[in-house]
Amino acid sequence: MSEKEKTCQTRWLKTNEISMKEYRKALEDAASLLRDGELVAFPTETVYGLGGNALDAEAAAKIYSAKGRPSDNPLIVHISYIDMLEPLVEEIPSVCRRLAFEFWPGPLTMILPKSDQVPMATTGGLDTVAVRMPAHGVALDLIDTCGLPLAAPSANRSGKPSPTRGEHVYHDLQGRIPMVLDAGAVEIGLESTIIDLSRPEPVILRPGKITYDDLKPFVPRLKEYHHPSGREIERPKAPGMKYTHYAPEGTMIMLPLHVEDDFFRALESKEKTAILASTEKIARWRRFCPDVTWIALGAEDDLDSLAHNLFHALRQCDLLDMETIYIESFSEDGLGEALMNRIRKASSCPLLIEKQ
Ligand code: TXA
Ligand code: MG
């Protein structure tokens, strides 16, 4: 970003490296920015969020502008206790209360018909609102301190992977927002599951850590959108999903489940190529192709760490100016569904070398 485009100094505050007294002061400072209609980036258990007062249309406009995001892409409203939900929605259906009790604070976003108090600017012109209670001490402390529901999309510049570390936020938004609360790496690393409860048959709009199987016992009419083969079929999408997301600058290609050695022979002399894979695959594959850059995502059967590391690895590819990025395909079980959903979105040509 050029010096001219920068509108403010960004205060980058590491909450794990300060005293309790300094932390309380930082929360007060952040809360007063938010009450003044300003923006503060904060950690959640999924990814970092870029927060502004959800009830203030001008704060929503600032969020869109800081992210460079189209303003018809609605924002998720973050709350810290259940009483904050009532004023935001028309009514709270019993299934919502049940899910809230079961999964909040946690990585579940629920969509409900909105009340008049929530401005259209926050919901991108929709008459529904997305709400969640994040499971992160700093997020909850911040919302408690300012006493406001916070509209917060992921705190990346539009088109970049969601930020999973404070430095990702600072890299993307430095000079555009007044404050970043940095609590280190987040726990999950993929965005929340979104369930739309505003329709007669609820549907998952975005897969996340909380899976279809987790939700189904509480939502008998929840629609299933998978073939028995595990392949995803066309399902309703969150409005934001029509935009390009999570894509690294280089061309990313998903590897088939079983990679053959002629693939590595073809790669041998390629420069600026990265392969993102599990530690087990790297240990074996690198013997066939020493020249490319290998980026480990975690152990093959540890979906939590694969998910945790994905977005950071995509950002590393950009920092290293990788032109071509190959990524391993993983199991679609449990969190694997969300992981593969994000990998497919980031891949420019997922089927290029896929043989079935
Ligand atoms: O984990 C998360 O959900 C993170 C953290 C910060 O909470 N937030 C996040 O927000 O991922 P964002 O803005 O990057 O993604 C929100 C998604 C978008 O795809 C948007 O279209 C969808 O939620 N969404 C928001 N409100 C909606 C609504 N009323 N109806 C349908 N989709 C909605
Ligand atoms: Mg986002």
Show me where the domains of the chain are located.
Answer: 11-234, 251-350
Q: Which ligand is nearest to the CA of 240?
A: 1
Determine the Cα–Cα distance for residues 123 and 54; give it in Å rounded to an integer: 9
pLDDT for res 351? 42
Q: How confident is the model at residue 298 (pLDDT cuts 50, 70, 90)?
A: very high
CA distances from 310 to 135, 146, 243, 343 (A): 20, 32, 20, 8
Ligand 1: does its nearest atom lie under 6 Å from the Cβ of 30?
A: no
Q: What is the pLDDT of residue 354?
A: 37
Q: Is 105 in the pocket of ligand 1 (CB under 6 A)?
A: no
| Distance from C-alpha of 70 to C-alpha of 92, rounded to nearest angstrom | 29
pLDDT of residue 113: 98
* Selected residue with higher pLDDT from 152 and 243: 152
Q: Which of 133, 136, 154 to mutate to test the pocket of ligand 1 (most atoms within 8 A of CB)?
A: 154
Q: Residue 227: is its pLDDT beyond 80?
A: no
Which are the contacts of 244, defined by CB distance < 8 A and separation ≥ 6?
159
Residue 320's pLDDT band (cuts 50, 70, 90): very high
Mean pLDDT over residues 193-211, rounded?
95
Average pLDDT, the chain: 90
Residue 355: the pLDDT is 34
Q: What is 11-234's CATH number?
A: 3.90.870.10
pLDDT: is 243 or 350 the higher one? 243
Q: Percent of the chain beyond pLDDT 90?
A: 76
Q: What pTM was computed for the model?
A: 0.92
Distance between Cα 294 and ligand 2 center (Å): 27
**Yes or no: is domain 251-350 CATH 3.40.50.11030?**
yes
What is residue 268's predicted lDDT score, i.e. its pLDDT?
A: 72
**Whether the CB of 198 sits within 6 Å of ligand 1:** no
What pLDDT is attached to residue 279? 97
The residues, ordered by sequence, that sit 6+ positions from 27 with a Cβ below 8 Å of its Cβ are 141, 142, 145
For the Cβ of 46 lying below 6 angstroms from any atom of ligand 1, the answer is yes
Indicate if 251-350 has the same CATH topology as 11-234: no
Residue 34, token pair as written in the block: 């938010």
Q: Which of 53, 61, 51, 41 is nearest to 148 (CA)?
A: 53
pLDDT for 159 equals 83
pLDDT exceeds 90 at position 348 = no
Our measurement of the distance from residue 73's CA atom to the centroid of its chain's CA atoms, rounded to an integer in Å, reads 14
The residue nearest atom 6 of ligand 1, judged by CA position, is: 49
Which of 67, 109, 246 maximizes ligand 1 atoms within 8 Å of its Cβ, making it the mutation to test the pocket?
A: 109
